Amino acid sequence: MRGMAIHIPTPLIASDAFSTPNQRVWLKLEALQPSGSFKLRGVGHACEWHAKQGARRLLSSSGGNAGLAVAYAGRQLGLPVLVVVPESTPEWPRTLLRRYGAEVVVQGKSWMEANEHLMSLRTPSDAFIHPFDDPLLWEGHASMIHEAARQGPRPDAVVLSVGGGGLMCGVLQGMAAVGWAGVPLVAAETEGAASLHAAVNAGHLVTLDAINSVATSLGARRVSEEAFAWTKRHPVTTTTVTDREALAACFELEREHRWVVEPACGAAIAAMRQRSSAALQNAADVLVIVCGGVSTTYADLVRLDAQLASGVEG
């Protein structure tokens, strides 16, 4: 039916704004995917696979970028999409989901309740698309590294954001495939959503009691087994930034490059700007995954920034 992937190739650009005399910073612009984030790579790949297996409908319980990617992929594949989201999901992502033609059901106070409701509606011909824990997703995400390896130099460090770790698993898989197995990875989280950082410090998987961050797309209380396993077979440094630092990085990216991204993406930009880890201090070429995200508008960023500036924490 279609010979092309659902995601699009994205530009890799050297950032004059973020580079220094000793370090060139390369931005992989996943924010330019049609659904607004890197998620379309993995989700598109998974949806295509399920369509080939005969799935008749695609299901998601994400009111964020994963759900949007499923909705976009379903439209491209000609398959109906059902997304169940909790009441807390803002109006803006609901509007975007419906714009792609997805059926949006609002049910439950938490993601857990929404997910349970979705599972009760599931039929045998439905394919459920997980937001981060599925080898099909990782395979799709890995394509961004195959692309980057053709577009630019071998980096001395790679920086990305971590929520549940799907992006990280895919990027590390891609790095292994293109011969970048020795290139350090800097994994950034906000302090209130640092489930990978906690796991690495503890030496085992950790489930956070709660998520307390404006970077909602990083809000997985526990990372996948595979994400944690990767930290033992690749040089990975975890690092955390505050919500205010993630937001400041969003504004810096907007001012310098004119792109609006979520605080989830700002976390990786902030980590790169701080150059706090040794892996970044000595790197001549740094590759940053600009993962994107559409859940926060520019007005949202301004409002969150004002809230944090006047508030008690951050």
Ligand X SMILES: *Cc1c(COP(=O)(O)O)cnc(C)c1O
Residues that bind ligand X (CB under 6 A): 37, 39, 65, 132, 161-168, 217-218, 220, 262, 264-265, 291-293
Q: Which residues contact 95 (CB under 8 A, 6 or more apart)?
A: none
Taking the complex as a whole, how short is the minimal distance between the CB of residue 219 and ligand X, in angstroms? 9
Q: Which residue number, 140 or 155, has a Cβ lying nearer to ligand X? A: 140
Taking the complex as a whole, how short is the minimal distance between the CB of residue 268 and ligand X, in angstroms? 8
Taking the complex as a whole, how short is the minimal distance between the CB of residue 240 and ligand X, in angstroms? 14
Q: Which residue number, 23 or 296, has a Cβ lying nearer to ligand X? A: 296
**Rounded-to-integer distance, Cα 87 and Cα 98, Å:** 16
Distance of CA 20 to the CA centre of its chain: 26
Q: Which residue number, 23 or 240, has a Cβ lying nearer to ligand X? A: 240
Taking the complex as a whole, how short is the minimal distance between the CB of residue 116 and ligand X, in angstroms? 21
Q: Which residue number, 42 or 155, has a Cβ lying nearer to ligand X? A: 42
Q: Which residue number, 77 or 167, has a Cβ lying nearer to ligand X? A: 167
Q: Which residues contact 285 (CB under 8 A, 6 or more apart)?
A: 23, 24, 26, 152, 153, 154, 155, 156
Q: Which residue number, 23 or 68, has a Cβ lying nearer to ligand X? A: 68
Rg (CA), the chain: 18
**Rounded-to-integer distance, Cα 208 and Cα 212, Å:** 10
Q: Which residue number, 77 or 264, has a Cβ lying nearer to ligand X? A: 264
Taking the complex as a whole, how short is the minimal distance between the CB of residue 31 and ligand X, in angstroms? 8
Taking the complex as a whole, how short is the minimal distance between the CB of residue 170 and ligand X, in angstroms? 8
For residue 151, report the phi and psi dihedrals to the nearest 5 degrees: -90, -25
Q: Which residue number, 65 or 143, has a Cβ lying nearer to ligand X? A: 65
Q: Sort 299 into a burial class: Cβ within 10 Å, 0-12 / 13-18 / 19+.
A: exposed
